[in-house]
Amino acid sequence: MTIKINAQKNLFHLQTDHTSYILTVMPNGELGQLYYGDRLPVKEHYANLAQREERGGMATWNDGLPDFQPEMLKQEYASLGKGDFRLPAFQLTQPNGSRTSEFAYQDYTLTAGKKRLAGLPATFDDTHDDAETLVCHLKDAITGVRLDLAYTVFPHQDVLVRSARFHNPTTTAVTLNAAASLQLDLPDADYDFLQFAGDWARERHLYRTHLRPGLQSIDSLRGASSHQENPFMILARPDTTDDQGSAFGLNLVYSGNFQDSVEVDQFATSRVLVGINPHEFGWQLAPGTDFQTPEAILSYTDRGLNQLSQQLGVFYQAHLVNPTFAHQDRPILINNWEATYFDFNEEKLMTIVQQAHDLGIEMFVLDDGWFGHRNDDTTSLGDWFVNQPKFPHGLTHFGDRVHALGMQLGLWFEPEMISQDSDLYRQHPDWVVGDPAATLTPSRHQFVLDMTRPEVIDYLFGKISSVISAMHLDYVKWDMNRNLTEAFSRRLGAEQQLEFTHRYILGVYQLYDRLTHAHPDVLFESCASGGGRFDLGMMYYAPQAWTSDDTDAVERLKIQCGTSYGYPQAMMGAHVSAVPNDQNGRVTSLATRGAVAFFGDLGYELDITQMTPAELEQIKEQVAFYQEHRHLFQFGTFYRVDSPFAGDGNVTSWGVVAADQGSAIFGRYQLLNHPNAPYQRQFFKGLDPQRTYTVNQDPEPFSGAELMHAGLFVPTVKPQQGYSSDFSAQLFIVRAVQ
């Protein structure tokens, strides 16, 4: 049992292998937080953790409990309006306009395992990994509304999963104006806030700042989790590094508007809230209905940020990602987007396919432009039928030719979008998101389909599903290239318009659910102009995502390193593209481009028919090399060694280590090559200190201890033929010899 309950004292001690989370029922019936951190022994009671003393000038719950002052309490799911002035976890408006709630604990249920949620992406425990779920049931004394706070303990990855569910058993509707997935009140504020921020082509760069009094938050109001902020955040002690120190990781299993906030109050405590963004949100809780929040993931370690990333990665693969693909090696693909953009036809593609096949590449992905009459980005979204001039014999004919070579086939869709110049728009202009009185705002010349409409989901399912079946697709790339504006559904009444953005994303999930169930062997990759929806909601349906539209190897160091804090490398699509790079004009060697892309799901995205025989030979070698080490690259334990975010960022290094520590590959990347530079050493991590290893087949044996503690001397980079000595990459292939 991982959840120990003292029912008499209303104490709940949630234990994982290394952590404890303790909560209790407070004198007013609300749930109070007592402790979260390194594992503690179970005790009869925790008086020390619950101690209070009265402070002047603050509201008390009642005169009989002068030291019970809501502003001082560490709570599990706080309301506003009873003397706690920090941001609340929820807000419920009664029919008379009052926003005061008095939820009190009723009882609990404890069950083995973890069930999926209906209609939302969610964690699960299919493998009987000792998960246990506690649900605390509360009731509002004023309205009679019920609240279930769910806690699942996944002991072996040191993860807790939380969510809240409101149920209205009364005959009167109430409105939910906010409903967080998780609240965590920490007793002090000596933490650094690590966020992963950026923009299109610059996603998930690490920013680390110390907490300060007041509110600090990351959020999205774009209808997508966004390029700009990612729902993943870390709170770490200031001395925590990749290798040591304590840290909390928090993430949300959700792809829409979110808000993660930390509020440091006047007593230097920290309130963390994670959930749907309360702005642009309001939910009519009609009689007899429920509202289920998305799930939030919480994890703690005292062994540094690499450990935090690793335990989260293991957790996602075991308890979130579609089990069909969670541990399955991902194919090496070639995508025609940066090779051809819209300028292709079947014959041109077949020359790429044939060449790719000769190089050992395993899958061809046909990107944007195969449908309707789309030859640029102004038309045809929604018309998911063949672009006849490009494929005169039809898509199935093309698909059969690819499959006949023994290659797998993938296809791009952008299901949620519609072009004004499309048959779909001409037939169903009312399917577009937006107030008909408003002038709708185009973005990339396109508009958004109202995914709250069942007929839209049916239409998309029918079209996409029949293309998947007809072409026997192995893979679908699901793109999404704009954010929501004029958020409004013609289908919803005025009182439900603030439900729109959440209902939109529920519609997206419904379509994903139907397609992945109808085509269980098709690998889905999510994409949103690159990494604009790189989140756990998407990962539940699509086990990998296109990390960024920025394919420049140097830019990718920061993007992939930042992403690695919260997501394992098998979730990251990483492609080798042409130089000068299309996004920033930078020229890097093919070796460097490969050495960066290896640490993800490798693909090629360039016109290989234009390459020299020597370059093609090099790609062939890269493909063979990646095939040999693919499982290690995609599923090995990932370690950050030198950070591109530290100092001048001139050197980045990272590595993957096999579960049995018998092999490892580390990559080292240097931006500028300095003359007469200080000596440099490459340090390794995660090896067995007692074992003997070789590096790059050099006969000299090294103990794991030597490689990890003394490092390996790195000679000055020599000029590479035809390329500058800047932007160099080195791979260290480490093998145990005993």
Is position 67 annotated as part of the catalytic site? no
Q: Is 136 annotated as a binding residue?
A: no
**Nearer CB in complex with ligand DGJ: 129/582:** 582
Q: Is 367 annotated as a binding residue?
A: yes
Smallest distance, Å, CB 337 to ligand DGJ?
Answer: 5
Question: DSSP of 296-337, one letter per residue?
Answer: EEEEEESBHHHHHHHHHHHHHHHHTS-HHHHTSPPPPEEESH
Smallest distance, Å, CB 50 to ligand DGJ?
Answer: 51
| Active-site position among 549, 601, 642, 726 | 549
**Nearer CB in complex with ligand DGJ: 150/527:** 527
Helix (H, G, I), strand (E, B) or coil at 478: strand
Distance separating alpha carbons of residues 25 and 193, to the nearest angstrom: 29
Phi, psi for 714 (deg, rounded to 5): -115, 110
Q: Is 480 annotated as a binding residue?
A: yes
Q: Is 130 annotated as a binding residue?
A: no
**Cα within 13 Å of Cα(459), Cβ side:** 22
Smallest distance, Å, CB 414 to ligand DGJ?
Answer: 7
Q: Is 654 annotated as a binding residue?
A: no
- Going by their DSSP bridges, the two strands 233-236 and 247-252 should be labelled as antiparallel
Query: Which amino acid does the sequence have at 248?
Result: F
Contact criterion met (CB below 8 Å) for 277 and 262: no
Contact criterion met (CB below 8 Å) for 545 and 569: no
**Nearer CB in complex with ligand DGJ: 434/530:** 530
* Residue 534 CB contacts under 8 Å (≥ 6 apart), including other chains: 203, 204, 225, 230, 526, 528, 545, 547, 563, 567, 571
Distance separating alpha carbons of residues 216 and 197, to the nearest angstrom: 14
Using CB under 6 A, list all residues that contact ligand DGJ. 337, 367-368, 412, 479, 481, 527, 529-530, 546, 549
Smallest distance, Å, CB 426 to ligand DGJ?
Answer: 22
- Torsion sign over Cα 120, 121, 122, 128: positive
Smallest distance, Å, CB 583 to ligand DGJ?
Answer: 11
- Torsion sign over Cα 210, 211, 213, 219: positive
Q: Is 219 annotated as a binding residue?
A: no
| Run of H or E including 620 | helix 613-635
Q: Is 43 annotated as a binding residue?
A: no
| Active-site position among 148, 479, 601, 607 | 479
Distance separating alpha carbons of residues 601 and 410, to the nearest angstrom: 15
**Nearer CB in complex with ligand DGJ: 362/550:** 550
Smallest distance, Å, CB 576 to ligand DGJ?
Answer: 14
Q: Is 527 annotated as a binding residue?
A: yes
Smallest distance, Å, CB 203 to ligand DGJ?
Answer: 11
Smallest distance, Å, CB 369 to ligand DGJ?
Answer: 8
User: Distances from the Cα of 511 to the Cαs of 120, 458, 612, in angstroms?
Assistant: 11, 8, 43
**Nearer CB in complex with ligand DGJ: 229/549:** 549
Smallest distance, Å, CB 479 to ligand DGJ?
Answer: 5
Smallest distance, Å, CB 625 to ligand DGJ?
Answer: 25
Contact criterion met (CB below 8 Å) for 319 and 311: no
Contact criterion met (CB below 8 Å) for 168 and 174: yes
User: Distances from the Cα of 118 to the Cαs of 176, 204, 440, in angstroms?
Assistant: 20, 30, 33
**Nearer CB in complex with ligand DGJ: 282/573:** 573
Q: Is 481 annotated as a binding residue?
A: yes
User: Distances from the Cα of 669 to the Cαs of 367, 456, 461, 650, 666, in angstroms?
Assistant: 30, 47, 44, 8, 10
Residue the block writes with tokens 């246990």: 132
**Nearer CB in complex with ligand DGJ: 108/337:** 337
Q: Is 478 annotated as a binding residue?
A: yes
Smallest distance, Å, CB 436 to ligand DGJ?
Answer: 28
Cis peptide before 580 (omega within 30 of 0): yes
Residue 303: name the closest of 18, 562, 706, 2 by CA. Answer: 18
**Nearer CB in complex with ligand DGJ: 30/550:** 550
Residue 556: name the closest of 669, 443, 700, 449 by CA. Answer: 669
**Nearer CB in complex with ligand DGJ: 543/573:** 573
Residue number, nearest CB to ligand DGJ:
368
What angle separates helix 346-359 from helix 395-404, to the nearest 10 degrees? 20
| Run of H or E including 150 | strand 146-154
Phi, psi for 415 (deg, rounded to 5): -60, -35
Is position 549 annotated as part of the catalytic site? yes
Distance separating alpha carbons of residues 140 and 100, to the nearest angstrom: 10
**Nearer CB in complex with ligand DGJ: 383/549:** 549
**Nearer CB in complex with ligand DGJ: 52/373:** 373
Question: DSSP of 341-392, one letter per residue?
Answer: TT---HHHHHHHHHHHHHHT--EEEE-S-SBTT-SSTTB-TT--SB-TTT-T
Q: Is 233 annotated as a binding residue?
A: no
Distance separating alpha carbons of residues 192 and 212, to the nearest angstrom: 9
Phi, psi for 294 (deg, rounded to 5): -65, 165
Phi, psi for 99 (deg, rounded to 5): -115, 20
Q: Write out the binding residues.
A: 200, 367-368, 444, 477-481, 527, 549
Active site residues: 479, 549
Q: Write out the binding residues for substrate.
A: 200, 367-368, 444, 477-481, 527, 549
